[in-house]
């Protein structure tokens, strides 16, 4: 999608601090980290939000791949005590960038929902 910030990051048109990339996903540091570790995992294909996933199963393999990558990335960042994943969906859910992304947070200064 031509006017999407995260599509531009995937395409290398906007710089990012890349952590990992494969044929399906791209992982980079959040520009305004809310914790010691704050990564964003995004699909390379443009999917606006979780609302775009439907029963067709079109993206099932991609989503499973992304979910399974999270603990691996957390481990690589040294988050042996655990980590938090957040997916904001829609404006009411706090979503600001409308390209599906999974926040991976960990370490000290973790924002809490307690
Ligand atoms: P959300 O509120 O779930 O849509 O989160 C969007 C996230 O994208 C925020 O945590 C922002 O700090 C982050 N963000 C915005 N622009 C950039 C950028 N150019 N590079 C990295 N992260 C960004
Ligand atoms: Zn996009």
For 94-111, what is each residue's pLDDT tens digit?
A: 999 999 999 999 998 777
Atom 19 (ligand 1): residue with closest C-alpha?
A: 31
What is the whole-number distance in angstroms between the Cα of residue 82 and the centre of ligand 2? 29
42 membership: H or E segment, kind and range: strand 37-43
**pLDDT at 112 (0 to 100):** 65
What CATH number is attached to the domain comprising 24? 3.30.428.10
41 in a structural domain: yes
Residue 113 lies in a domain: no
Range of the domain at 16: 5-104
Q: Is residue 80 part of a domain?
A: yes
Q: Is residue 31 part of a domain?
A: yes
Decide if 110 is inside a domain: no
Q: DSSP label at 45?
A: S
Q: Is residue 111 part of a domain?
A: no
Ligand 1 atom closest to 28 (CA): 21
pLDDT tens, position by position, 41-97: 999 999 999 999 988 999 999 999 999 999 999 999 999 999 999 999 999 999 999
Number of independent structural domains in the chain: 1
**3 state SS of 75:** helix
Tell me whether residue 114 is in a domain: no
Evaluate whether residue 99 is within a structural domain: yes
Indicate if the alpha-carbon torsion angle 55, 57, 62, 63 is positive or negative: positive
């Amino acid at each position: 999608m031509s006017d999407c910030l995260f599509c531009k990051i995937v395409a290398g048109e906007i710089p990012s601090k890349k952590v990992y990339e494969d044929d399906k996903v791209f992982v980079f540091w959040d520009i305004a980290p809310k914790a010691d570790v704050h990564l964003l995992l995004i699909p390379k294909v443009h999917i606006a939000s979780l609302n775009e996933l439907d029963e067709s199963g079109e993206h099932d393999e991609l989503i499973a791949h992304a979910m399974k990558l999270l603990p691996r990335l957390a481990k690589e960042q040294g988050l042996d005590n655990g980590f938090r994943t957040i997916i904001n969906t829609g404006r009411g859910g706090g979503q600001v960038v409308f390209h599906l992304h999974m926040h991976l947070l960990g370490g000290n200064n973790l924002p809490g929902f307690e």
